[in-house]
Amino acid sequence: METAGAKPSYGAGEEEIDLRELVLALWNQRRLIILVTLMALLAAVVFSLLSPPVYRVETLVELDNTDPESFKPNEAKEVLESRALLAKALEQLSLEVDPSIFEAEGEIVKDTNYIKFSLEGRDPEETTAVADKMLALFLEERNRVYREKLAPLKENLEQISQDLERGSIDRDRIQSIIASLEKEPLGDIERQLYALQLSLLQSMQAQERVGLMVQYLSLQDKLSSLHPARVIDGVSPPEKVRPRLFLNVAVAAVLGLMLGTFVALGRTWWNRPATGEGVEAREGGR
């Protein structure tokens, strides 16, 4: 006895293609899969052969460290990547080429004052020459600012050095005065008074000299730790980065197989006999 309102159910085998049918369907459609894959491979080969080659050169740039508190590597990165720097380099090299064929990129090395600079172009020799010129122009401007910031420090160091030298002259003069007082026919009280005053003056000069020496050594250490911007490694030999024939062919093979498989399964599903709801759905789509 059947329950009222119960709907007939179909088994899983009636609704899905089992594994054996799937393998058989792919085997029957193997020519289609191979054709689609070959077309994808052919397209990848043609694209790789017709695309203009792109070469890359790169180097590592160390920025100056005159002012660690206001150090902004992002600004240097933007300058290296700027079209203005590229245009100036092309102008000085007298290269009449389209600037858009070059692509400059700067990458800040984390927690350092290093920038990895790379330039891509279509001609290996031109790309190397343009990269060298861009770096030269960048360093020229960067180090001009560096020298301007360094000048006051050197002036202060020179002034302190002169003050220390004058202090040495004054100390010798005091020693000469003390020696002459010992020869003068002065009373004991006068001699003691002069000696006390000169002793106080020597003590003040000694303290001042210590302070000047501390400033001198501090400035000297700071100057010795500073350095201008510089290229750590020379520009690397140009390396071809695009197009990559073998990579493109490998990707095309995978995509071609996937697309061919989907097309084959779609044709199998569309052409296989169907009943019931499947027929109605197919006829409704026509």
Low-confidence stretches of the chain (pLDDT beneath 50): 1-12, 14-15, 17, 186, 275-286
Do the Cβ atoms of 243 and 53 come closer than 8 Å?
yes
Predicted pLDDT at 123: 93
Kindly report, residue by residue over 88-99, the tens digit of the pLDDT.
Answer: 999 999 998 999
Residue 217 C-beta-side C-alpha neighbours within 13 Å: 5
Give the relative orientation of helices 30-50 and 19-28 as an angle to the nearest 10 degrees. Answer: 60
Predicted pLDDT at 14: 46
Predicted pLDDT at 101: 93
Predicted pLDDT at 184: 55
- pTM, full prediction: 0.61
Predicted pLDDT at 179: 57
Predicted pLDDT at 237: 93
DSSP 8-state symbol, 70? G
